[in-house]
Amino acid sequence: MNRLIVMCLIGAIFLSSCNRKIGAIFGKKKDNLEVVDPDFEYLSAKAKFKFDDGEKSVSATANFRIKKDSIIWLSITPGLGIEVSRVLVDTENVFVLDKINKQYYEYTFEELSKEYDFDFNFQMIQSVLLGNLLEPYKKQGYEKSDSYFSYTASKGVYLFHNFIGAKSMKLEKVKVFDEGTNNTISVNYSDFVLVDGQVFPNEISAVIDYEAGTKPNTEVNITYNKMVIEDSPISFPYAVPSKYEKK
């Protein structure tokens, strides 16, 4: 159960283009590729997601709450409408409450990175959920087609291949390649929507592709059906009952 929940979160690590002109794709000097991230302090959302790692396949409803750059909260509810798990992510750790088996788990991002052979962190998870660039444009060479502006960025052993929609002016595709392990995460964003003037992807599909079949590929699909930018602070309830066992 814990592996399934964490992989859903990570994959969700990993959410027809909007024709509204959001802003200039280049800055004033014509050499700075600009992609506007949504601006908010608190966000709540409801989504349907599907998860398949080659061995298990799950469909469920997920309720998200985000305090930007600080907290991500997730409640998972399968078809019967009963919450089976709750997840809290802060800038250092991931906490998982398994209500079915009355167990809880605590992970540091360092532990998760070692287990899944990727350098996971809070900003990566938040960026994937919101459709933000994982690694910003820094005047690299880029290519332009009718559909995309594309460029490659690097950070350590990771290569980020980014595709920014010429119409949406948002990140529509990203592929992260780990040169150390040859593992790849690919994320596609589509069906962009406006929420209080901010642009979000309504559809997210992510695939974790492990080199040479070392692990089965993992696929996650997220469809948001409700997003609200909150006017006031929201709560992130997470408490471990005394009878739960730490795993």
CATH number at residue 46: 2.50.20.10
Domain presence at residue 158: yes
The answer on pLDDT for 21 being more than 60 is no
Tell me, what DSSP letter sits at residue 118? S
Q: How far is CA 46 from the centre of its chain?
A: 14
Question: pLDDT (tens digit, 9 = 90+) per residue, 58-107?
Answer: 788 999 999 999 999 999 998 777 899 999 999 999 999 999 999 999 99
Domain presence at residue 242: no
DSSP codes joined into one string, 151-187: EEEEETTEEEEEEEETTT-SEEEEEEEETTT--EEEE
Looking at the DSSP bridge assignments, the partners of residue 105 are 96
> How far from 77 is each of 56, 69, 106, 228, 234, CA to CA, in Å?
17, 25, 20, 19, 20
Domain presence at residue 98: yes
Give the integer Cα–Cα distance in Å for 91 and 81.
30
Find the angle CA(158)-CA(161)-CA(167) to the nearest 5 degrees. 150
What would the mean pLDDT of 206-211 be, rounded to a whole number?
86
SS3 (DSSP) at 130: helix
The model carries a pTM of 0.81
Range of the domain at 134: 2-234
Which residue did the predictor score with more confidence, 118 or 104? 104
Give the integer Cα–Cα distance in Å for 5 and 2.
5
Q: Return the pLDDT at 8.
A: 52
Lowest mean pLDDT among 2-6, 135-139, 213-217, 234-238: 2-6
Domain presence at residue 239: no
How many independent structural domains does the chain possess? 1
Domain presence at residue 246: no
The answer on pLDDT for 17 being more than 50 is no
